[in-house]
Structure 1
Amino acid sequence: MSTVDNTPRWLAVAALAKIKNGAYSNLQLNQLINEHRMDRRDINLLTNMVYGVIQHRLTLEFWLKPFVRHPHQLNPWVRELLLSALYQWQYLDKIPQRAVFNETIEIAKVKGHPGIRRFVTGVLHQMDRSGLPAFDTIEDPDERLSVTYSMPVWLIQELRQQLGATKMEAIIASLNQPAKQSLRVNTALSTVSDVTTALTNDGLTVEPSKISPLGLVVTDGQAINTEAMRYGMFTVQDESAQLVVPALNVQPGDQVLDACAAPGGKTTQIAAELDADAGGEVVALDIHANKVRLIGQNAARMHVADRVAATELDARKVQTQFDDESFDRILVDAPCSGLGLMRRKPEIRYEKQLQDSLNLQKIQLAILAAVAPTLKKGGIMTYSTCTILQQENQDVIAKFLADHPEFELQTTPTEQDLKADRTDKTLSIYPDDYLSDGFFIACLRKK
């Protein structure tokens, strides 16, 4: 086997070709990292290239188009090879152009036939001689924004309509920055101080989250490879996602329903607030058996399995197994378009359309309507999504309240008093606010 097969650049091209066929970027990356022995520097380059090419795909394709007559007719790996070369050349300042071109041509030589090598060499040299096309040659302003930030036109237009042009551009610009490596400390087992010490002793650089009091941000090193991770002292969870469970105000003896629970991150966060001896329990639902097993595995790793009942059930059918007023608290972390996760899962931006949000809205409303009768009077139901479109957020809450006058909207609390000057009772975290995931949280009290 050629040494080219094991370089971060070739592995990135291989991953990108698969991701174009529907695989998730994070799963492909994890698989490659597990299969190949790489040092931290190579892992960082591989990760940077895969996410970078996906994030900037529309920009890179715009630059490539004048030099390749029919780019989408190319063999997928050849196209991804050229796009990855462009990404390195234009976005990775520390890698010399000569090194980028030489290794790109070497990969073409080893993985393809002589014709592919000549083709790739010719394209790279022509780009270098002619220069890349400028964005200001694009006449349509929305198309220009789309290419500049590599965002679909429909999303640009929708965010402008909902939030205004300035906020829209701040959001889409922020989404091409790297995602933070954020952790939530497991209070059932440890403290923020103890986890910080453990990770620092392992050579990682860690700082406290400015969003969540249980959050830590790793700025250097890989937390998932540590003993503290294996022992369950923390879990990987975005800072915004950590805000959802505190909004429930869970008490130690509460009966809690986590209606859409997999993979169990928020389930284990709820469970850490419960006391099994006092009767506290969280019923964690998912429609798929394999995901229910995953919830159970996460609960065991986080040492809270005695407070978690992982159950295979569609949340829309919750009344077939649970009586009215069974729960003190209900979390509906609803299935959504995931558009708040574009920094972490960049391929989402190319896969979704506005109609997807409208279709999901029906499911979200159906889940809320189904679980509402099982909440006790005076109980709290928290609704959350990891999207930034009002069709799945504010519109869902407005429609639910119109049909359920027994509920009232309360101000979503945060322990760090985030967005204290907001006029809305709901909480919207946008990707540019704190460079965390986009999230929406609403708290509903049953009268």
Structure 2
Amino acid sequence: MSTVDNTPRWLAVAALAKIKNGAYSNLQLNQLINDHTMDRRDINLLTNMVYGVIQHRLTLEYWLKPFVCHPNQIDPWVKELLLSALYQWQYLDKIPQRAVFNETIEIAKVKGHPGIRRFVTGVLHQMDRSGLPSFDAIKDPDERLSITYSMPVWLINELRAQLGQEKMVSILASLNQPAKQSLRVNPAVSNVADVQAALENAGLTVEASQVSPLGLIVTEGQAVNTEAIRYGMFTVQDESAQLVVPALNVQPGDHVLDACAAPGGKTTQIAAELDKDQGGEVVALDIHANKVKLIGQNAARMHVADRVAATELDARKVGGEFGENHFDRILVDAPCSGLGLIRRKPEIRYEKQLSDSLNLQKIQLAILSAAAPTLKKGGIMTYSTCTILRQENQDVIDQFLAAHPDFELQTTPTKQGLKADRDVQTLSIYPDDYLSDGFFIACLRKK
């Protein structure tokens, strides 16, 4: 095996070529890290390069374009090699340009034929001599924003129309910052102070979340490599996602439906609030058998399996399985476009269109409408998404309420009093508000 085969730079290029072909970035990275022996520094560089190139792809391609006459005629891995060299050169200030260029040329030499090595060498040297094209040369202001922040024009237009120019730009800028490593403490096993102490004893640097009372933020070290996670003392979950279950106001003896439950993060959060002896149970649905199994595994790891009934069922058919007035609380954490997760899943920005949101709106409404009759009078149904577009959020709630006069909207509560001065009852968390994921939460009470 050649020396470049195990370097983080080559592994990043190989991963990027597969991701461009449809593979998921997080799964590709996990597989590479598991298959190769790397120290923490190499893992960090590999992760940084893969996510960085995906995040800044439109910018990097704009810079590369003047130096490659026929981009469609070069091998996909060669293009990813050049984009990753550009990314390191422009965004990673701790790596000298000489080191970036030398290793890029070495990879081209080992992985390609002499013609590829000459081509890559020529492109890098030409970039260095000529300098990269300026964004100022882009006349259209929306295209300039698209290239600057590497976001599709349709999303820029939609966010501007819904939130205004200033908020739109703030969101775009925030989405290219690295995602926080956030954890949710499991109250069924431990408490915030004890988990923080356990992680700090393991050498991690940890601080309390300003968003969620059960949240911790790890700023140094890897929480997934600790004993504490194996004991089920916490799970990895974004701070915004942690706000959904408290909005349900679950009581220990409640019968709860989690209509779209996989992989079970919110299911286990609900279950931790329940008491099996008082009859508390959460029915956790997913349409796929393998994901139902995953819910069960997560419930077992978090020591709440006795309160979780993981069930294979399409949430749109919930009325045929459970009678009217069956559940005290219902959570519809609906399938959505996931645009609030761009910081964690950067490829989403290139894959989605506005039509996706409009198609999902129909599914979201169908799930809410199917679940509604199974809720007891006086019960709460919480609707949440991890997207930031009105089409999947407020519009869905407005349409549901218009068709279901037996429901009323209540103000979404948070323990930390987030956005307490807002003039709407629903809660929208945008990616630039707290540098957490974008989320929407609405609480519907059955009269």
Q: Does 1:141 align with 2:141?
A: yes
1:378-397 equivalences in 2 (<5 Å): 378-397=378-397
Aligned counterparts of 1:436 and 1:110: Cα–Cα separation in 2: 41
Q: Does 1:414 align with 2:446?
A: no
Letter in 2 for 1:382: T
The CA deviation string for residues 322-372 of structure 1, in whole angstroms up to 9 with x for no partner, is 010110000000000000000000000000000000000000000000000
Aligned counterparts of 1:393 and 1:233: Cα–Cα separation in 2: 32
Aligned counterparts of 2:209 and 2:43: Cα–Cα separation in 1: 24
The total of aligned residue pairs comes to 447
Aligned counterparts of 2:74 and 2:112: Cα–Cα separation in 1: 12
- Paired position in structure 1 for 2:184: 184
Aligned counterparts of 1:225 and 1:168: Cα–Cα separation in 2: 37
- Paired position in structure 1 for 2:65: 65
Q: Does 1:329 align with 2:329?
A: yes
SS at match of 1:172: helix
SS at match of 2:368: helix
Aligned counterparts of 1:347 and 1:230: Cα–Cα separation in 2: 30
The CA deviation string for residues 252-279 of structure 1, in whole angstroms up to 9 with x for no partner, is 0000000000000000000000001110
Q: Which runs of 5+ in 2 are unaligned?
A: none
Aligned counterparts of 1:270 and 1:18: Cα–Cα separation in 2: 37
Aligned counterparts of 1:73 and 1:115: Cα–Cα separation in 2: 13
- Paired position in structure 1 for 2:105: 105
- Paired position in structure 1 for 2:194: 194
- Paired position in structure 2 for 1:173: 173
- Paired position in structure 2 for 1:258: 258
Aligned counterparts of 2:192 and 2:38: Cα–Cα separation in 1: 30
Q: Does 1:4 align with 2:4?
A: yes
- Paired position in structure 2 for 1:347: 347
- Paired position in structure 2 for 1:39: 39
Aligned counterparts of 1:372 and 1:224: Cα–Cα separation in 2: 38
Q: Does 1:118 align with 2:121?
A: no
CA-CA distance at 1:190 after TM superposition: 0.7
Aligned counterparts of 1:134 and 1:230: Cα–Cα separation in 2: 49
SS at match of 2:329: strand
CA-CA distance at 1:69 after TM superposition: 1.1
**More divergent stretch after superposition (25-34 vs 53-62):** 25-34
SS at match of 1:437: coil
Aligned counterparts of 1:43 and 1:210: Cα–Cα separation in 2: 29
The CA deviation string for residues 377-420 of structure 1, in whole angstroms up to 9 with x for no partner, is 00000000000000000000000000000000000000000001
- Paired position in structure 2 for 1:205: 205
Letter in 2 for 1:380: I
CA-CA distance at 1:38 after TM superposition: 1.1
SS at match of 2:212: coil
Letter in 1 for 2:101: F
- Paired position in structure 1 for 2:398: 398
- Paired position in structure 2 for 1:368: 368
Aligned counterparts of 1:23 and 1:229: Cα–Cα separation in 2: 27
- Paired position in structure 1 for 2:286: 286
Letter in 1 for 2:284: A
Aligned counterparts of 1:369 and 1:116: Cα–Cα separation in 2: 58
TM-score normalized with structure 2 length? 1.00
Give percent identity, aligned residues only: 87
TM-score normalized with structure 1 length? 1.00
Runs of 4+ off more than 3 Å:
none
CA-CA distance at 1:230 after TM superposition: 1.2
Aligned counterparts of 1:271 and 1:72: Cα–Cα separation in 2: 52
- Paired position in structure 1 for 2:27: 27
Aligned counterparts of 2:173 and 2:268: Cα–Cα separation in 1: 33
- Paired position in structure 2 for 1:158: 158
Aligned counterparts of 1:249 and 1:265: Cα–Cα separation in 2: 17
- Calculate the aligned-residue CA RMSD, in Å: 0.5
SS at match of 1:257: strand
Q: Which runs of 5+ in 1 are unaligned?
A: none
CA-CA distance at 1:73 after TM superposition: 2.8
Letter in 2 for 1:165: Q
The CA deviation string for residues 281-333 of structure 1, in whole angstroms up to 9 with x for no partner, is 00000000000000000000000000000000000000111010110000000
Letter in 2 for 1:334: A
- Paired position in structure 2 for 1:338: 338
1:70-85 equivalences in 2 (<5 Å): 70-85=70-85
Q: Does 1:89 align with 2:89?
A: yes
Aligned counterparts of 2:155 and 2:204: Cα–Cα separation in 1: 37
SS at match of 2:151: coil
Aligned counterparts of 1:351 and 1:364: Cα–Cα separation in 2: 20
Aligned counterparts of 2:391 and 2:123: Cα–Cα separation in 1: 44
Aligned counterparts of 2:235 and 2:4: Cα–Cα separation in 1: 35
Aligned counterparts of 1:16 and 1:148: Cα–Cα separation in 2: 21
SS at match of 2:94: coil
Letter in 2 for 1:192: V
